[in-house]
Amino acid sequence: MKNRFVLKNIILLAIFFIVEAINIQFNFIKKYDITNIYDYKFNLFTISSVFAGFSFTVLGILLSISSEEMIGRLKNTGIISNKAKKIMNSAILFCMSSIFSLSFIIGLDCIFINLLGHEKFIHGFMSISELGYLLVGIVCFIYAVKEIYSLIVKAYDYDIKKYDEQKEKFKSALDKPKENPKNE
């Protein structure tokens, strides 16, 4: 599973690389204003960090609801761990976006430019990568939250049905006429 995630990230980087190569030729993605580049990168870093925090919060919620009876029965089925993996994937994607933003902020782009040249391509690739990881992370996050929401609904729906059954049993027990041994 770990190798699949690494492979997916390599594929994403390859896609971002190809998108930037095409963008240099056709300029279909509007670039940022170079005068506000550091503000732009800090804003992207902040957005990615906040979404990563949301991902960890959702993971905490998933772990806290595992004490519910219905969810507790799912512990050994792999359902909970699959949902947790999806949340962690989104958190990692947000962290990757943050890393690209932070690498520009601290000047790692200059090191790559000095080593490889191609300033326009490196800046474009880093920008496409940080935005791409952010967007893919948002999609994964929304999907993971939707799945957890459906799991919560199913768990509480189960608990409500169980409660209704117990309530009906109690009502029927109250409604039964009691046999009175004194009348005999």
Domain ranges of the chain: 2-26+36-176
For position 139, what pLDDT does the model report?
A: 92
Quote the tokens at residue 29.
């993605």
The pLDDT tens digits for 40-54 are: 788 888 888 898 888
Sole residue written with tokens 């999609």? 139
Residue 22 has pLDDT above 80, yes or no: yes
For position 136, what pLDDT does the model report?
A: 92
For position 178, what pLDDT does the model report?
A: 60
Amino acid at 150: S
Quote the tokens at residue 149.
């929401």
Angstrom distance (rounded) from CA 55 to CA 52: 5
Comparing 79-88, 135-144, 155-164, the range with the smallest average pLDDT is 155-164
Conformational region of residue 30, where left means phi above 0, alpha means psi within -120 to 50, and beta covers everything else = beta
Residue 183 has pLDDT above 60, yes or no: no
C-alpha distances (whole Å) from 11 to each of 8, 38, 95, 113, 129 are 5, 28, 17, 23, 12
For residues 106-111, average pLDDT:
80
Angstrom distance (rounded) from CA 163 to CA 166: 5
For position 70, what pLDDT does the model report?
A: 62
Q: CB within 8 A of 179, min separation 6: which ones? A: none
For position 73, what pLDDT does the model report?
A: 67
* Residue 118: CB atoms within 10 Å: 12
How much is the pTM?
A: 0.71
Residue 67 has pLDDT above 70, yes or no: no
Q: CB within 8 A of 71, min separation 6: which ones? A: 65, 80, 151, 155
Quote the tokens at residue 134.
């952010």
Angstrom distance (rounded) from CA 156 to CA 86: 22
